[in-house]
A and B are shown apart, each in its own frame.
Chain A
Amino acid sequence: MADMENENRVWKLFVTFFKIGAFTFGGGYAMIPLIKEEVVTRQHWLEDQDILDIIAIAESTPGPIAVNTATFVGKKTAGMAGAAAATGGVILPAFIIIYCLSFVLRQFEELAVVKYAFVGIRAAVLVLIFQGLLSMYKTCPKGKMEYLLMAFAFVVTAFFDLNILAVILVCALTGLLVNGRKQS
C-alpha cells in the first residue's frame, strides 16, 4: 500500500513539475509562485515555511534555482525517486522545445528579416541583463569588502578575462576569511 502511494506521488511530482517547467518563462524566481500554488495549496506536500527554506537553500547552493527547488521538493516529498521525477519534469519541457527549435534557428538566422530583427533584439537583451544585474546588486549586502570584491571581479574579468573559476574561488576564500569565524 505504502509503495503504491509513493509511486503515485512520484508520478504526480513529475507531472506537476513538468507543468511548472512548461509554463514558466524566464528565470527560476518566476517559478516560485507556481510551485507554491501547486505544492502547498493544491497537493499539500509542503508548508509555506518550507518554501521559504527552499528559496534560501536554492540561493546559497550551486546551480539553477529551478533545478534546486525541484530536487528539494521531490526529495522532501518522495525521496530520491521523487527528486529525480521532479527534476526531470522541470527540465524536460525546456529540453524538448529548445532541441526542436535548434533545427530551425540556424536557418532562420540567415534570413535578412531575422538579421534585422536581432540587431534590435540584442539591444533589448542588454537592458534585460542590466536589470538582472541591478536586482542582484540591490539584494547584495553592502560594505567595504563587498564593494572591493565587486570591483575586483568586474575588473579582472572585463579587462583581463581572468578565469572565472579563479575569481569565484578568490572571492569565496575572502568571504570565508573575513566573515567565516564571526559569531552571528
Chain B
Amino acid sequence: MSILLDLFLTFFKIGLFTIGGGYAMLPMIRQEVLAHGWMSLEEIVNFIAVSESTPGVFAVNISTYVGAETAGLPGAICCTLGVTLPSFIIISILAGGYEAFQESTIVKGIMSGLRPAVVGLIGAALFSVVKTVFLPNGLEINPGQFGVSLLVAVLALLIRFRKKVHPIVVILMAAAIGITAGYLGLLG
C-alpha cells in the first residue's frame, strides 16, 4: 500500500474511533504509530510537550507532525485530512437533526460503554508513558534520570494541583531542571 494511503487510512480510523476531548486520542495514536514504526513512544511524549506549547489541538498537531516526518507535505496533508474527515462528515449530517440523535437510547447506551472505556484506555497509555519515563531501558535503572523524572513529576503535580498554572510554565520548569541536571553530569 502506498505510504500516503496508509497514513490517510490510519488517521481516518483514529479520527473515526476516538470519542472525547483532551488526550482521548492518545491511546489509539500510540498503538497505531508504534505499530507502523512512524515514531517511538519517547518521541510521541516529546511531541505532546511541543503540542501543549503551540497553538491548535493535539489531534491536528500530532497528525501533521507524523505525516510531515513520514512523507513530507503530502503526508502532512493526508494525515490531517484523515483525522478531520470523519468528524466533518458525521457532524455535517447530524447538524440538521441532532435532537433525535441526542435523545436516542441507542446512542446513550453506546456512550455509557464508551466513556469508561476511554478512561481505561488513557490509563493504559499513561501506564506505558510511565514506563518510558522512569524505565527507558527496561529494568536497568539510570539513577540520575530516574531521580530527575521523579523530582519533576512531584513538582509538576504539586504546582498543577495547587494553582491553575498553564502547562507551558510546567514544561519550562521541567526543561530547566533537566538541563541543569544534564550539565551537572547527573544524567549519565
Genuine A/B complex: yes
CB distance from B28 to the nearest CB of A (A): 5
CB distance from A133 to the nearest CB of B (A): 5
Give 1 or 0 for each of A165-184: 1 = CB within 8 Å of chain B CB.
Answer: 10110011111111111111
Identify B117's interface contact among A24, A80, A132, A167, CB under 8 A: A167
CB distance from A164 to the nearest CB of B (A): 5
* Chain A residues in 8 Å Cβ range of B19: 59-62
Residue of A105, A130, A164 ringed by the most chain B CB atoms within 10 A? A164
CB distance from A93 to the nearest CB of B (A): 5
CB distance from B60 to the nearest CB of A (A): 4
Complex CA gap A68/B160 in Å reads 28
CB distance from A16 to the nearest CB of B (A): 15
Q: How many chain A residues touch B (Cβ–Cβ < 8 Å)? A: 103
Given contacts A136-B122, A158-B127, contact A165 B17 (CB under 8 A): yes
Query: Which residues of chain B from 69 to 113 have any CB-CB distance to chain A below 8 Å in the complex?
Result: 69, 73, 76, 80, 83-84, 86-88, 90-92, 94-96, 98, 101-102, 105-113
A42 at the binding interface (Cβ < 8 Å): no
Interface of A is mostly: helix
B4 at the binding interface (Cβ < 8 Å): no
CB distance from A122 to the nearest CB of B (A): 5
Identify B64's interface contact among A95, A126, A164, CB under 8 A: A95
Contact A133 B119 (CB under 8 A): yes
Contact A64 B21 (CB under 8 A): yes
Complex CA gap A130/B52 in Å reads 14
Contact A120 B170 (CB under 8 A): no
Contact A93 B55 (CB under 8 A): yes
Complex CA gap A21/B108 in Å reads 30
Complex CA gap A8/B104 in Å reads 36
Contact B22 A135 (CB under 8 A): yes
* Chain A residues in 8 Å Cβ range of B182: 112-113, 115-117, 119
* Chain A residues in 8 Å Cβ range of B167: 25-26, 124, 128
Identify B152's interface contact among A95, A112, A120, CB under 8 A: A120
Given contacts A57-B98, A154-B124, contact A119 B181 (CB under 8 A): yes
Contact B88 A87 (CB under 8 A): yes
Query: Which residues of chain A from 64 to 101 have any CB-CB distance to chain B below 8 Å in the complex?
Result: 64-68, 71-72, 75-76, 80, 83-84, 87, 91, 93-95, 97-99, 101
Contact B26 A140 (CB under 8 A): no
Contact A97 B187 (CB under 8 A): no
CB distance from B14 to the nearest CB of A (A): 9
Given contacts A62-B15, A66-B57, A157-B121, contact A122 B45 (CB under 8 A): yes
Beyond A67-B88, A93-B55, A122-B49, list 19 extra A-B contacts (CB 8 Å): A24-B56, A57-B98, A57-B102, A58-B91, A63-B15, A72-B91, A98-B60, A99-B76, A102-B65, A116-B183, A117-B174, A119-B182, A120-B181, A150-B119, A153-B116, A158-B124, A168-B117, A171-B117, A179-B113
